[in-house]
Amino acid sequence: MNDAPEMAPYARHVMICTGAYCDPLRQADRLYHRLSHYLGELGAYDNPVRVKRGTTPCLGVCYGGPLLVVYPDGIWYHSVDDALLRRIVEEHLGNNRPVEEYIFHRLDGAPQPEVIET
Ligand code: FES
C-alpha cells in the first residue's frame, strides 16, 4: 500500500524568515499572513501556477531582514516591508519581473523568470 501524500501542481515557493536575528522588529509573521491576501488567485490551491508560501526560522543570513526567497528562481530579497511585498507579488510573481533593487543574492544556475516584453 502506497500512502504517499499528493501534491497539487504549483510554480513557485516563497519562504520568509521569521528568525529574530534578521528580523529584530518581528515583522515577518505579519508579512507571511499578508502574503496570502496579496497573492489572491496566485495562491489558489487549484491554480496550476500557484505560489506556495511558508516560513522558516533561519535562512543562514541573519541580518538585513525581513528576508524572503523565491524558488525555483533562487532570488533573495532583503528589507521586505508591506510595500515591497506587494511589489514582489505584482512584479515578480505576477509578471516575472523581479524587483531588482532589493535583490541581494541569486542562486547560480537557477531558472530565471521569463520576461515577456509588452
Ligand atoms: S535569522 Fe533570518 S536568516 Fe537567520
**pLDDT for 11-40, tens place per residue?**
999 999 999 999 999 999 999 999 999 999
CB atoms inside a 10 Å sphere around CB 18: 22
Atom of ligand 1 nearest to the CA of 20: 1
**Domain coverage including residue 41:** 12-106
Residue 6 included in any domain: no
| Domain membership flag for residue 59 | yes
> CATH code at 99?
3.40.30.10
Contacts 24+ apart (CB under 8 A), 101-108: 102/77, 102/78, 103/75, 103/76, 103/77, 104/64, 104/76, 104/77, 104/78, 105/75, 105/76, 106/74, 106/75, 106/76, 107/73, 107/74, 107/75, 108/74
pLDDT in tens, 38-66: 999 999 999 999 999 999 999 999 999 99
Number of domains comprising the chain: 1
The residue whose CA is least distant from atom 1 of ligand 1 is 19
Would you say the CB of residue 66 lies under 6 angstroms from ligand 1? Answer: no
Residue 88 lies in a domain: yes
In a domain, 113, yes or no: no
- Give domain status of residue 90, yes or no: yes
Ligand 1 atom at minimal distance to the Cα of residue 65: 2
Residue 4 lies in a domain: no
